Amino acid sequence: MRYNRTSLAYKVDEFNEVDNLIKEVKKQNTQNKKSSAFFVAICAFYMIAIIATLLIKTATINEQKAELTAIKNEYSAMVNSNKKLEVDINSQIDLRKVEEIAIAKLNMNQPKKNQIIYVSTEPKDYGEVKSQNVNSKKDKNIFASLIKALNGYYEYSN
């Protein structure tokens, strides 16, 4: 603030400028506060949305785990009941009853000694896997590797 040289009174324009600057700074502060509050609100909204998504996913996973456990329990109960039924069926089958039913109802007869043919159940045809020699050195010669491949094909075809 300056004094007017001709009078002892302050210049009014300088006071108005200072007041205007103070008002502008206050306006900027309120605008900054509003924009920062808006930014905080948006960040809070996104955080709530992310947390809600995570909670929903976790709940869905837990529900699916519970369903899977129930299905596994149901499956094991079915397997156990099948085993029990299989044991019951096997215990109820009597070979003498089967033979009686075959002879009486189906008119089957016991084979005579000359009708019995014995069959060998030993496997005569079976495959055998030969061990392959794995060399640490690779063939540098293309011609030698081609001959090896042809020999392998020839052994395979015969």
Choice among 24-28, 60-64, 65-69, 135-139 with the minimum mean pLDDT: 135-139
* CB 139, CB 148: distance < 8 Å: yes
- 128 to each of 125, 134, 149, 150, 156, how far by Cα in Å? 10, 18, 20, 20, 12
Q: Average pLDDT, whole number, for the chain?
A: 82
pTM above 0.75, yes or no: no
Give the pLDDT mean for 127-146: 67
Tens digit of each residue's pLDDT (9 = 90 or more) over 78-114: 999 999 999 988 888 888 888 888 899 998 888 888 8
Q: Which residues of 25-41 are buried (b: 16+ CB within 10 A; e: fewer)?
A: eeeeeeeeeeeeeeeee
Helix boundaries (H) for 93-136: 95-104
Q: Look-up: residue for tokens 């869905």?
A: 60
Tens digit of each residue's pLDDT (9 = 90 or more) over 18-58: 777 888 888 888 888 888 888 999 999 999 999 999 999 99
All structural domains of the chain with their residue ranges: 12-122
Pairwise CA distance, residues 90 & 81, whole Å: 14
pLDDT at 157 over 70: no
pLDDT at 76 over 60: yes
pLDDT at 135 over 80: no
- 61 to each of 24, 38, 74, 108, how far by Cα in Å? 55, 35, 20, 61
